[in-house]
Structure 1
Amino acid sequence: MLASLRQERILAAVRLHGAVRVADLVDELDVSDMTIRRDITELARAGLVRRVHGGAVGPDTGSRPAHEPGFEAKRSWATAEKQAIARLALTLVEPGQAIALSAGTTTHLLAHLVAADAALRPLTVVTNSLAAAEALHAAVTPAGLDVILTGGVRTPSDALVGPVADASLAQLRVDTAFLGVHGLDGDGLTTPNLLEAATDRALLAGAAHVVVLADHTKWGVVGLARIAPLDEVDTLVSDTQLTAEARRALDPLVGRVLLAPPDDPTPEPPLDPGAP
C-alpha cells in the first residue's frame, strides 16, 4: 500500500474514533511499527493529527490534563519493553538507599520488583504514585522497607500532585529518583498534566541521581507541560528498539543511556488487577 493511502486510512480512523494506536494500525495495515510511526509523523507535521504515546489523536484533542490517558489504559502499551526496563532499573537500586518513584506504569512495575527483592533491605521508598504504594505495601516491615506516600490531588494516571505533594517532596532528599514520563524529545521531558509536571520537578530537585524510565514509543511524543531538559537526566533506561536518531539526540545530553534487552528470563513481577 502506498504511503499516501496508509495515511488516508490513519487519518480516517482518527477522525472516526478520535484516537488510534500504533499496535492496532500495524495489524490492520500489515506493515511495520516504524512504518506506522513515520506515517503518523508525516500527518503530525501537516497538522492533521497529534502524536501521543502509543499512537495519535486529533490535532485539537489530548493536549489538556483532562485528556490524559488513565493508568489502566497506559499499562497495556509496550508491556514487554516496560517489563525489561523495570528489570534493568532494579539493578540501579542498592540496599540502604532512599529512592523515589514517580507515578507511571513502568515505575509501577519497578515497585513490584523492589517489593519482591528482600536483598534490597533496608530501603526507603518515597512515591507520589498510589499504584506503586499499593505494590510496596505488603512488603513493608519495621526494619526493612519503609514507604513514604505524599499527599495530593489524584490524576488520571494515579499520581498525587499539587501543592501538598510538592511541599512534601521539598522536605525530602533521596539517593535516586526513578521518573516515568509521558514523552521526551530533544527539548526534554514532558507530561500532559501541568500539576504533575510541577510535582515531578519537585521530586527531581530532591534527588542526587535522576533516572528516567521511558520505552522507545515515548521518543518524539510531546506533552503540554515540560518537566525538565535532558541534561538534568543522569541515566535514561529505555529498550533496544530506541532508534539511532533518538540515540544521536540523547547521547550528548544525557549522562548515560541504558537499553534493556528483550526476552530477559527473569520472572515478571505479579500484577494485581485490583490495584488502583
Structure 2
Amino acid sequence: MYQEERLIGILEFLQLNNRISVEQICSLFAVSRDTARRDLVKLEEEQAIIRTRGGAILPAYHNEVKSYSNRLTMVSIEKKSIGKKAAMLIYPRDRIILDASTTVQSCAEQLNNIDCTIITNSINQADLLSTKSEMNIQLLGGTLEKDHRYLYGPSVISKLSEYLVDKAFIGVVGISEHGLTVAHEEDGIVKRKMMQQAKQVIVLADSTKLGKSDFFRFAEIRDIDLLITDRTPSQAFRELLTKHNVELLTTDLHEIGDD
C-alpha cells in the first residue's frame, strides 16, 4: 500500500473514532512503528492532524455556518443530485415534512406538481412550492430566524405534534458515530420533532458531511431509516450505517438533467 492510501485510511479512521494510536496504524495497515510515525509526521505537516503521545487526534474545526442566502448561491452539483434522488421518493397523496436545509430545498425545487401535502418551517420552500397548484402547503408558524430563513420555537413544536406524516426529509451539518448534528440548538430541536412525527426518516447529506460533527446533536444514527448522499462512503462508515440498520442510497452525477 502506498503512503497516500494509508494517509487517507488514517483520516477516515480518525473521522469515525477521533483518535488513533501508532499501534492501531501498524495493525490496520501492516506497517512498522517507524512507518506509522512517518505517516503521522506527514499528516501533521499538512495540518490534517494533531500528534499526541503515541498517536494522533483530529484538530477541532469550528466552521462558520453562512447565512441561508449565501449557502443557496453555493448549492453544489452534489446537493442537486441528492435533491433529485430525494424528490423521486415523494408520491401522490404522500404527507411530507421538509426541513429548512439547503439540500432539502434542492429536493423541493425538483418536485413534480403532484397531489401531496408538504409541511415545512422554511419560508423559502413554502414560497417556491406555492407555485405548484396540486400541492397543499402547511407553513409552520413561529419565531423567524432571519439569517437562515426558518421558523422555530414552542409554537412550531406544538403544531408539529399534531401531524403524522409518511416521510420527513432532514438535512444535517454533520453525521458521524456521535449522531446527527447542526450548528444551532433551536434548529436541531425542530428537526428532532419532525423526525418523531414521520413513519420514515430520510437524511440528505453530501459526502463532506459524513464523519463530521457540529455543536448540537439532535438525533442518533439509529433514528434514521435512509441516508441519501452523493458518493459511496468509506467501509467504516458503511459498517456504522449497517450496525444501526440505516439504508444507503447514493446518486450518480450523470443523472442530473438540464431542467
The bucket for the TM-score relative to the shorter chain is 0.7 to 0.9
Aligned partner of 2:135 among 128, 142, 145: 145
Residues 43-192 of structure 1 correspond to what in structure 2 (within 5 A)?
A: 49-50=60-61, 57=63, 62=64, 68-77=65-74, 79-114=76-111, 117-118=112-113, 121-139=114-132, 141=133, 144-155=134-145, 156-192=147-183
**Residue in 2 that maps onto 1:272:** none
Runs of 4+ with deviation above 6 angstroms: none
Q: TM-score, normalised by structure 2?
A: 0.74
1:245, distance to aligned residue in structure 2 (A): 3.2
Give yes or no for contact 1:78–1:215 (8 Å, CA) kept in 2. no
Q: Which AA in structure 1 matches 2:202?
A: V
- Number of matched residues? 214
1:137, distance to aligned residue in structure 2 (A): 1.2
Determine the C-alpha separation between the residues in 2 that align with 1:161 and 1:40: 38
Determine the C-alpha separation between the residues in 2 that align with 1:265 and 1:235: 21
Determine the C-alpha separation between the residues in 2 that align with 1:265 and 1:84: 6
> Which segments of 5 or more consecutive residues in structure 2 lack a partner in the other structure?
5-41
Identical amino acids, percent of aligned pairs: 25
RMSD over aligned CA atoms reads 2.7
Q: How far does the alpha carbon of each residue in 1:27-60 deviate from its partner, in whole angstroms, 9 at most, with x for none?
A: xxxxxxxx99x95651597675415xxxxx4xxx
After superposition, the Cα gap between the structure-2 partners of 1:47 and 1:255, relative to the gap in structure 1 and judged at 3 Å, is closer
Give yes or no for contact 1:43–1:49 (8 Å, CA) kept in 2. no
1:78, distance to aligned residue in structure 2 (A): 5.9
Q: Which AA in structure 1 matches 2:137?
A: V
Give yes or no for contact 2:75–2:102 (8 Å, CA) kept in 1. no
Determine the C-alpha separation between the residues in 2 that align with 1:151 and 1:265: 34
Give yes or no for contact 1:99–1:177 (8 Å, CA) kept in 2. yes
After superposition, the Cα gap between the structure-2 partners of 1:257 and 1:41, relative to the gap in structure 1 and judged at 3 Å, is farther
Which has the higher Rg, Structure 1 or Structure 2? Answer: 2
Q: TM-score, normalised by structure 1?
A: 0.70
1:246, distance to aligned residue in structure 2 (A): 2.2
> Which segments of 5 or more consecutive residues in structure 1 lack a partner in the other structure?
4-34, 52-56, 63-67, 269-276
Give yes or no for contact 1:236–1:254 (8 Å, CA) kept in 2. no
